[in-house]
Amino acid sequence: MLRFLPGAAALAVAVFLLAALASARLNRRLTLAAFGVFGGRAIEHSAARERLLRSAAVGVPYREYASKTYLYAAAVGVSSGILGVYLGLGAFAVAEAYGLWQDPVSFFGPTPALDTLQFGLLAVSGLGFGVVAGVGTYALRWQLPASRADTRRRQIDAGLPRMVAFMYALSRGGMSVPDVFRTLDANEAVFGEGAAEFGTAVRNMDLFNVDVVTAVEDLSERTPSEQLSTFTENLASVLQSGGSVSDFLEEQYERYRNEAEEQQAEMLNVLATTSEVYVTIVVAGMLFLITILLIIGLTVGDTLFVMRAITYLVLPATNLLFLTYLLDITQPLRAGADRQRSESGAAAPNGSPSVEADGGYVRPGSSRNHERLFAYRRIRSVLEALRTPVASIVERPARVLYLTVPIALAVTAYRFPSALSGGGIDVEVLDDLLVQATLFLTGTFAVVYEYKKRRLGSLEAAVPDLLERLASLNEAGIAMVSSFKRVQRSDLGSLDDEVDRIWRDMNWGATVEEALSRFEKRVRTPSVTRVVTLITNAMDASNEIGPVLRIAARQARSDLALRRKRKQEMFTYLVVIYVSFLVFLIVIGALEQVLIPSLPDTGSIGGGTGTGVGGVGAPGLGSIGSADRAAYRLVFFHTAIIQSVVSGLVGGVMGNGSIKDGLKHTTAMLAITYVVLVVVV
């Protein structure tokens, strides 16, 4: 047993390092150990890496991060070196079993014995694994902040036009620059990483008594976004010169609104290129490769194993790479969509729930009460969902899976005995069960999700009209409450019911801010959330918010126009994906249902007694046995099924930037594939 102690110690170190990522207590111990070993003067200061950590908002000092990086690299390197020795011994054992090594290694036996060559090979194996793992860990630890900084840069750039519009509107409403920054910081859940950057400036002003110009200049130096850096540099110059901040923000607002169209055009060009590459490589390329392998298998030798590897490994992996890339480049489409306001209406940075106490502050030792409050809120949400199941499912379409998944599992389990035949499993029957269950799950979710998406889309389309009418009434000297009373009598299309509810809340004693906050919670879309946040904060600064409402209306119309143009442009490439999928399906169906059944049945490939090449018994393509015919047909069927599922997901991400949008395309393509290959043919 002593021989396995080094391996057990290496695994224990690996488990501890992984556990430290999830446990704050273990992470503190690891930090103390890193400082104790590497935290001295041996850590050289790097201004570039320190700035990288600040840009990535890691929240860890440079010396701490560098010390832990050295500790991780050393621990992983040593552990991997030990495991490399064991892998080398295992390789010797395998070589001995196959007769490739004449001098056996008895390390695992009762008397360990290693000659010089074996010892040298094991040393090279352990040292190689250790060095590669240690250097890789060190490089990965410094690559993570760079990746995070790049992600934050793209998020900041995507949300910068809306954030500048928000700042411009508040400035036009009479709010001072520091208060504008504080308002942005309080609404980080709405405006994302850009608001988090201004939150740093707010903390410098409030905690360290830094003036606003210095705070803005420091923000310009630390942000990973070049656009935000340029914007803050110009803002600092305006503040120093005493110029009009509102005029500057208006100019920047118009500039970024025009640039948003250019950025979208660039992204559409990238998506167009990606679509062409996807169709060429994944659809046409895989189809060509499978066809060639079939011809080779019928004329030279068995290629069934290679075709299975392509179907079950290469095809899903290639589509997964394309999906990952598409999700990465379409991230601006989802800017703000993943951030939700907390239940209390306050911003919840980083997605954490807001903490409320009886007096509006957190009392010492009150964490247990907070846990009880959060548990009560979770139970209350479950009870509300049970009281109104339809409305709850429409509000959050993912909840439909709580109903459909048990049904699909129960029905599949009930029908599973039909897939058992002759002491084994009938793969074709099992495929039918799985495909039908998948269609049921994706179809029900797609219906609910599409209904909610269309409903919210119609509501967002009517928001600019509502804002412009409110702006006209407010500029005429009518208060907000009376403005909503007048607007409530007009025709606003999809917003009629919601405006009635807003006016009803006000009529029953709620303030304008409370009524609008309830409206935002009911709708829960990024566009409406930004509008409500802007109006409620502008009302705190001034009662004359007509200009603010008009700015919000212009921004809302601009977002709708960009979304409409993007949808029209991407519809073409979505059609291309559908056409390429149909071509793929037709060719696969022809191979499965026409070519394979028409071949003469004279035995397995390469096992016949004819005079053809490779043992085929007929001229031309050759012959194929019944067992191989069934195997090839199964591979073709699975290829079509997998391609239909992943092509639908790719189409949804390419068109709307979301996998959820791809489920409806997956349902359609999977249904077409199943009907064509099973029901019709």
pLDDT digits (tens, 9 = 90+) for 405-439: 999 999 999 999 888 876 678 888 888 999 999 99
Q: 61-70, 84-93, 300-309, 434-443: which has the highest mean pLDDT?
A: 434-443
How far is the CA of 20 from the CAs of 23, 104, 137, in angstroms? 5, 41, 16
The 10s digit of each residue's pLDDT in 271-324 is: 888 888 888 888 888 888 888 887 777 776 677 888 888 889 998 999 899 888
**17/109 same-domain check:** yes
SS3 of 363, please?
coil
pLDDT the model gives residue 608: 44
Q: Which of 671, 670, 615 is nearest to 642 (CA)?
A: 670
Indicate the residue among 260, 287, 307 that finishes a domain: 260
Is it the case that residue 561 has pLDDT exceeding 50?
yes
User: Which range has highest mean pLDDT (99-108, 416-425, 481-490)?
Assistant: 481-490
Q: Which two tokens stand for residue 267?
A: 């992204």
Cα separation, 618 vs 609, whole angstroms: 10
Together in a domain, 27 and 144: yes
465 belongs to a structural domain: no
Model pLDDT, residue 120: 79
Query: Is the domain of 300 the same as that of 241?
Result: no
Confirm if 636 and 588 have CB atoms less than 8 A apart.
yes
Residue 424 bridge partners (DSSP): 421
Residue spans of alpha helices (H) in 476-545:
480-488, 496-507, 512-523, 526-541
Residue 476: pLDDT over 70:
yes
pLDDT tier, 258 (very low <50, low <70, confident <90, very high otherwise) = confident
Q: Is the pLDDT of residue 230 over 60?
A: yes
Q: Are residues 173 and 75 in the same domain?
A: no
Q: Cα separation of 130 and 141, whole Å?
A: 16
- Closest by alpha carbon to 69, among 15, 144, 132, 160? 144
Q: Is residue 192 part of a domain?
A: yes
Q: Quick one: 232 and 283 in the same domain?
A: no
| One domain, residues 252 and 282 | no
Phi/psi class of residue 613: alpha, beta or left (left: φ > 0; alpha: ψ in -120 to 50)? Answer: beta
Which pLDDT value is given to residue 143? 92
3 state SS of 420: strand
DSSP string, 229-264: HHHHHHHHHHHHHT--HHHHHHHHHHHHHHHHHHHH
Among 126, 151, 176, residue at a domain's last position:
151
Stretch 220-242: mean pLDDT, rounded? 92
9 and 146 share a domain?
yes
Token couple for 588: 């696969």
Residues 13 and 143 in one domain: yes
CA distance 161 to 257: 6
CA-based R_g, the chain, Å: 32
Give mean pLDDT, residues 86-95: 78
Q: How confident is the model at residue 26 (pLDDT cuts 50, 70, 90)?
A: confident
User: What's the CA gap between 48 and 45, in Å, rounded?
Assistant: 9
Do 190 and 210 share a structural domain?
yes
Rounded to an integer, what distance in angstroms lies between the CA atom of residue 185 and that of residue 341? 13
pLDDT higher than 50, residue 536:
yes
The answer to whether residue 413 sits within a structural domain is no
- Give yes or no for residue 562 having a pLDDT over 70: yes
More confident residue, 670 or 655: 670
Examine the pLDDT at 104 and tell me if it is beyond 70: no
- d(C-alpha 438, C-alpha 405), whole Å: 10
The pLDDT of residue 599: 64
Q: Does 146 share its domain with 6?
A: yes
The helix or strand, by DSSP H or E, that contains position 424, with its residue range, turns out to be: strand 424-425
Name the least confident of 229-243, 440-454, 592-606, 625-639: 592-606
Let me know if residue 511 belongs to a domain. Answer: no
Q: How many residues does the chain have?
A: 681
The predicted structure's pLDDT at residue 407: 95
> Residue 679: what pLDDT?
67
- Taking only the tens place, the pLDDT of each residue in 361-414 is 445 555 667 677 777 777 877 777 778 888 788 888 988 998 999 999 999 999
pLDDT of 568: 82
Looking at the structure of the chain, the number of domains it has is: 3
Q: Is residue 102 part of a domain?
A: yes
pLDDT tens digits, 183-228: 999 888 888 889 999 999 999 999 989 999 999 999 998 899 999 9
- Checking if the pLDDT of 611 tops 80, the result is no
Nearest of 522, 509, 270 to residue 391 by alpha carbon: 522
Q: What is the pLDDT of residue 414?
A: 92
Last residue of a domain, one of 201, 226, 260: 260
pLDDT band at 442 (very low <50, low <70, confident <90, very high): very high
Overall average pLDDT of the 113-140 stretch: 83
pTM, to two decimals = 0.74
Q: Is the pLDDT confidence value at 35 over 80?
A: yes
pLDDT at 40: 59
Both 144 and 251 in one domain: the answer is no
Mean pLDDT of the chain: 81
Average pLDDT of the residues in 83-107 = 70
Residue 158 confidence (pLDDT): 82
Say yes or no to pLDDT of 621 above 50.
no
Average pLDDT over residues 72-88: 89
What per-residue confidence (pLDDT) applies to 232?
A: 93
Range of the domain at 298: 272-337+562-680
Instruction: Kindly state whether residue 409 falls inside one of the protein's structural domains.
Output: no
Residues 182, 276: one domain? no
Q: Is the pLDDT of residue 343 over 50?
A: no
